[in-house]
């Protein structure tokens, strides 16, 4: 099974100093970096997804701002594709599907920002397109939501959306478990 790492919207606007800060975004970025480093070490495919706002009333991910840039530790390296998106679903109106098909990818390991929007919609679309997905729970971040005047804490939002993805749409595991699996596969392959 050919696997690629999808890194969704690890951009400055989601960090504590950004225009749309997410809870535990720095920690999620650190966990994603650990996995990214192992993918790079194995020369395995990595795809970076970058959100650019096109809505006239947008307050974050504005083109030509620092907020739209990648969080520095997760900056793409030469040869790692960057796919720009304008919707939460990374497959909508982007070349992502063609890129994955061209590389023969069938399994996606997914980390990213925001769990309740881009991660959720991308995982569900990937499943519908026939991909097997693994979501790295501690390499994703979200924020609190409000519904009917009730504030829903970010950790509750995170747990609810990840719980809704498994087991049908994705396997949801920790970064530690992902790294352990990668180490075992490298041992078997080597």
Q: Say what the pLDDT of residue 47 is.
A: 98
Confidence check: pLDDT of 99 > 80 = yes
CA atoms within 13 A on the CB side of 67: 18
Tell me the average pLDDT across 139-166: 97
Range of the domain at 114: 3-189
Write down the pTM of the prediction: 0.95
pLDDT tens readout for residues 101-146: 999 999 999 999 999 999 999 999 999 999 999 999 999 999 999 9
CB atoms within 10 A of CB 75: 12
b/e for 131-140, b at 16 or more Cβ within 10 A? bebbbbbbbb
Structural domain total, the chain:
1
Chain center to CA of 147: 25
Q: Who has greater pLDDT, 185 or 181?
A: 181
Q: State whether residue 49 is helix, strand or coil.
A: strand
Can you give the CATH number for the domain in which 46 is found? 3.40.50.850
- Cβ neighbourhood burial of 78 (10 Å; 0-12, 13-18, 19+): exposed
Confidence check: pLDDT of 190 > 70 = no
Q: Say what the pLDDT of residue 158 is.
A: 97
Residues 6+ apart with CB under 8 A from 129: 91, 97
Q: Say what the pLDDT of residue 54 is.
A: 84
Under the banding of pLDDT at 50, 70 and 90, the label for residue 67 is confident
How far from 141 is each of 4, 21, 158, CA to CA, in Å?
20, 10, 7
Q: Say what the pLDDT of residue 87 is.
A: 94
Q: Say what the pLDDT of residue 186 is.
A: 74
Confidence check: pLDDT of 56 > 90 = no
Q: Who has greater pLDDT, 64 or 122?
A: 122
Query: With pLDDT > 70 as the criterion, what percentage of the chain qualifies?
Result: 98
């Amino acid at each position: 099974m050919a696997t690629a790492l999808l890194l969704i919207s690890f951009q400055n606007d989601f960090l504590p100093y950004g225009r749309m800060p997410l809870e535990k975004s720095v920690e999620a970025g650190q966990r994603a970096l650990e996995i990214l480093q192992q993918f790079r070490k194995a020369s395995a495919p990595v795809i970076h997804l970058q959100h650019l706002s096109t809505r006239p009333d947008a307050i974050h991910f504005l083109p030509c701002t620092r907020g739209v840039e990648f969080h520095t530790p997760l900056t793409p390296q030469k040869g790692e594709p960057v796919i720009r998106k304008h919707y939460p679903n990374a497959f909508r109106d982007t070349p992502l599907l063609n890129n994955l098909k061209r590389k023969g990818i069938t399994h996606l390991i997914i980390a990213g920002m925001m769990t309740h929007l881009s991660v959720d919609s991308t995982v569900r679309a990937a499943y519908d397109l026939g991909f097997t997905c693994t979501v790295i729970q501690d390499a994703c971040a979200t924020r609190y939501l409000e519904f009917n005047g009730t504030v829903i804490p970010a950790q509750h939002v995170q747990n609810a959306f990840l719980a809704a993805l498994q087991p049908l749409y994705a396997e949801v595991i920790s970064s530690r478990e992902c790294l352990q699996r990668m180490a075992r596969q490298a041992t078997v392959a080597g």
